[in-house]
Amino acid sequence: MISTNDVRPGMALELEDGLFTIVEYQHVKPGKGRAFVRMKLKKLDTGQVFDRTFRADEDVTQARIDRSDYQYLYSDDLGFHFMNLDDYSQVVLSPDDVGDAADYLLDGMTVTVASHQGTAIGIELPAAVEMEVTYAEPAVKGDTRQAATKTVRVQTGLEVQVPLFVEQGDRIKVDTRTGEYLTRV
């Protein structure tokens, strides 16, 4: 148990409705009445974000989330297969556990798998991923009335807005948090 006065963003809490990570934390002392803690919590299994208010001295259960480096191997009908880099054991995650991260997974890529009580609950990607452009329409000269971008498709099937000079076969860096183009490699 941990007091709500001692929690910080990034910590994991085990509440009656599931596992949550703290996204934002605010300790409020109103002029009249008792202090309280306002938190923005992200549910680990669904990704939904909730606002929740607690008394300032209320005890909550801190969840122990273990993180280990795994290598992405492949995906099939069973799910996404990962191998632990320390003991070479394998784990299979469902598409729900992987979520939107599936658009950025490349064979042989190292990711961090988060687990709670021995059960894998999700993955954490690196901040940026290098990908090859598999389809890009040629840029039309003088077409700059928009933001001078075009849509390309990368090797995982993800579509990304890029500048006009990016062509098929180029390698680009994509931000895994926003899905935006960063640079050509």
pLDDT digits (tens, 9 = 90+) for 116-154: 888 777 788 898 999 999 999 887 766 566 667 889 999
pLDDT value of position 31: 84
Q: What was the pLDDT predicted at 67? A: 86
Beta strands in 56-176 (DSSP E): 59-62, 65-76, 79-84, 90-93, 110-116, 119-124, 128-136, 149-154, 159-163, 171-175
2-62 with 128-184: one CATH topology?
no
In this predicted structure, what is the pLDDT of residue 129? Answer: 92
Residue 113, strand partner residues: 68, 123
pLDDT the model gives residue 97: 79
Confidence (pLDDT) at 170:
92
pLDDT value of residue 145: 62
What tokens does 24 get? 């934002």
Would you list the DSSP string of 2-64? EETTS--TT-EEEETTEEEEEEEEEEE--SSS--EEEEEEEETTT--EEEEEEETT-EEEEP-
DSSP character at residue 137:
P
Give the residues of the chain that fall short of pLDDT 50: none
pLDDT the model gives residue 70:
93
Provide the residue ranges of all domains of the chain, joining segments of one domain with +.
2-62, 65-124, 128-184
Q: How far is CA 19 from CA 56, 59, 115, 140, in A?
A: 20, 15, 11, 50
The per-residue pLDDT for 128 is 92
Tokens of 35: 């202090």
Read off the pTM.
0.72
Name the CATH topology of 2-62: SH3 type barrels. (2.30.30)
Instruction: Report the pLDDT value the prediction gives residue 72, as an integer from 0 to 100.
Output: 93
- Is 128-184 a CATH 2.40.50.140 domain? yes
Provide the pLDDT for residue 141: 67
Give the Cβ contact number of residue 153 at 10 Å. Answer: 16
Q: Which CATH architecture has domain 65-124?
A: Beta Barrel (2.40)
